[in-house]
């Protein structure tokens, strides 16, 4: 039983900027239906939203996979964008390469990756310049 | 403590979407969405000048009882539609974020 999981997959589209966040919203709905506590749902939704938006803004979209286990939620965000040259720098609060038109929408505080770190129990970034970025996050259910 | 109905009244605000009268215990001012997500306290009315559809996603994540567009800013079409669909209270005031905050602060104290 403990190995059973619910697996959800989403294509994160960069074309439709207006609907960015729809994958994290679906996950939020699903977790609520499963009766998962609201603070856990909130952490998953925030971690995933920030990652989803980053794929839209910085990487031309990508793929999100979410696995819901009885004790944790695993989130994998994979894109074939430009990659991150310096991961430690990207993780710093306030670091952002968001262009002006994106900042005008309210993005670009350089707080997305720190928010993902804060709202997950484990987070790992794999990135290669010119190849893409994959981010693994685990949120343990309390 | 106050609520959304009272806030609309004291800010002399235009109601763009009113879904449910929720309690307001404090406020939060900010236009950078990732700050709002991580810092807006529970029960805070969110004062902003951002008016695009992403505001709705953030309002849901931060679970704010109301979004207050300041400086007479009007929402774009996507935002008002989204707020109606998702049941997010959205209002607009001519006041700036400071002016609106002071009024809310006086009401709460
Ligand atoms: N998937 C990605 N592909 C390529 N670069 C990325 C990716 N995600 C993040 N980055 C880089 O890391 C930086 C920091 O990301 P972070 O999410 O913290 O801030 P931001 O997206 O710029 O602003 P905010 O999230 O506060 O709106 C980005 O500006 C970008 O340079
Ligand atoms: Mg970001």
How many other C-beta atoms can be found within 10 angstroms of the C-beta atom of residue B68?
A: 28
pTM of the model: 0.95
Number of domains in chain A: 1
- H or E element, residue A115: helix A112-119
Cα of B7 vs centre of ligand 1, distance in Å, is 35
Q: Which domains does chain B have, with CATH numbers?
A: 2-108 (3.40.1390.20)
pLDDT digits (tens, 9 = 90+) for B72-81: 999 999 999 9
- Distance, in Å, from the CA atom of B101 to the CA atom of B97, rounded to the nearest integer, reads 6
Is residue A1 in some structural domain? no
How close A1 comes to chain B (CA, Å)? 31
Quote the distance between the C-alpha of residue A16 and its chain's center: 17
Nearest to B25 by CA among B35, B36, B40, B9: B40
Closest CA to A118 of B33, B49, B38: B38
Whole-angstrom distance, CA of residue A39 vs CA of residue B39: 15
pLDDT tens track of chain A, all 142 residues? 456 899 999 999 987 776 788 899 999 999 999 999 999 999 999 999 999 999 999 999 999 999 999 999 999 999 999 999 999 999 999 999 999 999 999 999 999 999 999 999 999 999 999 999 999 999 999 9
What residue numbers bound the domain in which A106 lies? 6-140
C-alpha dihedral sign at A119, B64, B93, B83: positive
Which residue of chain B is at minimal alpha-carbon distance from A26? B57
Task: Tell how many helices (H) and how many strands (E) occur in chain B.
Answer: 5, 7
Are B54 and A112 inside 8 Å of each other by CB? no
Q: What percent of chain B has pLDDT over 90?
A: 98
CATH number of the domain encompassing residue A13: 3.30.565.10
- Taking contacts as CB-CB distances below 8 angstroms, the residues of chain A near B54 are 20-21, 53, 105-107
């Amino acid at each position: 039983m403990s190995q059973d999981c619910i697996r959800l997959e989403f294509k994160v589209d960069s074309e439709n900027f207006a609907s960015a966040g729809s994958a994290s919203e679906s996950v939020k709905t699903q977790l609520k239906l499963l009766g998962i506590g609201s603070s856990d749902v909130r952490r998953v939704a925030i971690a995933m939203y920030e990652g989803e938006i980053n794929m839209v803004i910085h990487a031309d979209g990508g793929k999100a996979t979410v696995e819901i286990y009885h004790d944790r939620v695993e989130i994998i965000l994979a894109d074939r964008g430009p990659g991150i040259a310096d991961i430690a720098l990207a993780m710093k609060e306030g670091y952002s390469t968001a262009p002006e038109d994106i900042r005008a929408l309210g993005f670009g505080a350089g707080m997305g990756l720190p928010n993902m770190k804060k709202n997950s129990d484990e987070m790992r970034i794999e990135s290669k310049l010119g190849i893409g970025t994959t981010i693994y996050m685990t949120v343990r259910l309390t | 403590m106050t609520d959304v109905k009272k806030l609309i009244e004291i800010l002399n605000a235009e109601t763009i979407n009113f879904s449910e009268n929720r309690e307001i215990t404090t406020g939060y001012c900010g236009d950078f969405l990732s700050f709002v997500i991580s810092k807006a306290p529970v029960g805070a009315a969110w004062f902003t000048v951002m008016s695009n559809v992403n505001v709705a996603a953030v309002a849901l994540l931060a679970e704010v009882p109301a979004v207050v567009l300041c400086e007479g800013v009007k929402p774009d079409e996507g935002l008002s539609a989204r707020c109606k669909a998702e049941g997010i209270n959205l209002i607009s005031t001519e006041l700036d974020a400071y002016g609106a905050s002071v009024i809310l602060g006086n009401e709460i104290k």
